[in-house]
Amino acid sequence: MGKNTREQLLESARRCFAAKGFYGASIADIADELDLTKQALLHHFGSKEKLYGEILKGIAESIISDIIRTRADVTDPLAQLEALMTGILKRQLAHSDEAQILMRELLDNRARAEQAGNWYLKPFLDSLVSIVRTIPLEEDLTEARALALVYQFLGSINYFVVSEPTLTQMFGKEMHAAMRQDYPEQLRLLIRSRFHRV
């Protein structure tokens, strides 16, 4: 039953870290969810940091492989950008745990020096930038501008995903359901209109 326990611990840890952050979640909390002691967790992962590191690695790998799959399908750069962004939105909505963890990682970067989980995602950002720069546009996009554009879309996506509980509390469940259903289309509109192809 060893392999199974390990994976269950990873799932539990992902939930806890997403909900309370690295400092807020204790390894005892995580193990308790499976009616285990924290020493069982330490047996499998050695330390809290290593456990967290494995989770970050898993998220980055999963996202990147997800992206690569999407990328091969389309050739037109604008369509490709659109497909990638809506793909990311869908993905993050389905795995909001991961979106939360990455957002926390973004925030904790200031304190926790290097080893950030976002580094894994740099190649992914680079490829998005190169796609954007091949889209014909009257203005010439510097790398900084292309990155800013990419960041605007990524921000729209991740901020929304991470705001789910707050939006639900503020505007009610139905309102959030409506937004969630419509958001992919709104994202597509935002991207297309920015490139004057509406």
Range in contact with a second copy (rule: CB under 8 A) among 3-11, 39-47, 75-83, 170-178: 170-178
Per-residue x/- mask for a second copy, residues 46 to 85, rule CB under 8 A? ----------------------------------------
Rounded CA separation 121/157 (Å): 16
Q: What is the CA radius of gyration of the chain?
A: 19
Cβ-based burial of 102 (10 A; exposed 0-12, middle 13-18, buried ≥19): buried
Binding partner at 40 among DNA, a second copy, none, C-beta below 5 to 8 Å by kind: DNA
Range in contact with a second copy (rule: CB under 8 A) among 35-43, 61-69, 70-78, 146-154: 146-154
The answer to whether 120 and 60 are in contact (CB under 8 A) is yes
CB 4 → DNA: shortest distance, Å?
A: 8
CB 169 → DNA: shortest distance, Å?
A: 24
For residue 136, state whether it binds a second copy (rule: CB under 8 A).
no
Cα→Cα distances 64→33, 84, 87, 159, Å: 29, 11, 12, 20
CB under 8 Å to 45, separation ≥6 — which residues? 9, 51, 54
Rounded CA separation 110/107 (Å): 7
Please report, as ranges, the residues that interact with DNA according to CB under 7 A. 1-3, 5, 25-29, 31, 35-40, 42-44, 46-49
Binding partner at 5 among a second copy, DNA, none, C-beta below 5 to 8 Å by kind: DNA
The only residue of 7, 23, 47, 173 in contact with a second copy, by rule CB under 8 A = 23
